[in-house]
Amino acid sequence: MSVFDQLFAEAKAARETAYVPYSRFKVGAALLTNDDKVVSGCNVENAAYPEGTCAEAGAIAAMIRGGSSSIKEVVVLADAALCTPCGGCRQKLREFADEDVKVHVANLDGLKQTFTVGELLPAGFQLEEQN
């Protein structure tokens, strides 16, 4: 099974557990970490919009909680033509992933398109100069 297939299966399973009573729009995300763990997250809505959590943010929190420190590959999955990470999640991904890390965007049937973190977030926020 390829890395993409593993991440796709985990993102799809995570999507099914999403808490989305308001939008009914489920999203799942799965990350391959620097130490080759697969972690996932789902979106969690809240009646006090915009206090919900995106799937990518949930996966990143699970990654940190599990003791990993960076991202090697990502799958974001939703039942949509193309559900790329929101602007905030692009910055969150950039915090833990190099610009060349692949972000695969999928629907329920499979891969739709692959981007790099750098393509999704050119000129992202940086606190310090990068060498």
Residues with a catalytic annotation lie at 56
Helix-then-strand count for the chain, H and E: 4, 5
Three-state DSSP class for residue 86: coil
Three-state DSSP class for residue 20: coil
Sign of torsion, CA 121 14 24 75? positive
Report the run of H or E that residue 73 belongs to, with start and end. strand 71-78
